[in-house]
Amino acid sequence: MHEHYYSSNPSAKSEERCFQAHLLEHSFTFYTDSGVFSKKGIDFGSRLLIENVSLQQEKTVLDLGAGYGPIGITLARAYPQLSVVMVDINERAIALAKRNAEVNRVIGQVECIVSEGFSELANRSFDMILFNPPIRIGKSAIYELFSEAKSHLVPGGSLWIVIRKKQGAESAKKELERNYDHVEVVAQKKGYWIIQATIY
């Protein structure tokens, strides 16, 4: 059976690599490895989410399914007031996220946790949750995470997702509208949608 990047403990042989990225007017170095998502560079969806998320008074951010950390680490660097929690089921990815937080000098702002969804985040709430959902886990599992995210947001908080139109962006928006008070498509580019869902 082919192993996916959302395996908790990837058995794929380690093939570590390193690349440079420029995001939000900052330069970054990211270490990646086999068995983690988008190991050759930051995927278009994550980059689009980073470039379009609107941060104002937010202090606490959750990067859900953080992988090796490009979203959470970029925002921590660009917004020094932020406290960022990065979670992923993949132990190898979280180990890389910790290393990347150190390399990019945001380790004091970042907490990295191995967690299947919200399982290790009981009683914790955030101003913002960012999510690039792993489509292969299936629509029902993703929608369950949409629902769970609501209970981990403070009043006025928002869930931001990136999803491709051909992978169900329209139905995801409808699902979010069933759970959240206000849902808006913030950006569309190359078939990707950035959707913000807010609770009041």
pLDDT at residue 99 greater than cutoff 60: yes
pLDDT at residue 58 greater than cutoff 80: yes
Once rounded to an integer, what is the mean pLDDT over residues 145-155?
Answer: 98
Query: pLDDT tens digits for 7-17?
Result: 555 567 888 99
Q: Where are the domains of the chain?
A: 17-198
The CATH fold of domain 17-198: Rossmann fold (3.40.50)
pTM of the model: 0.94
Query: How far is Cα 90 from Cα 40, in angstroms, rounded to an integer?
Result: 17
CB atoms within 10 A of CB 30: 25
- 101 pLDDT tier (thresholds 50, 70, 90): very high
pLDDT at 10: 53
Return the C-alpha torsion angle 137, 143, 145, 148, nearest 10: -160
**3-state DSSP call for residue 58?**
coil
pLDDT at 5: 42
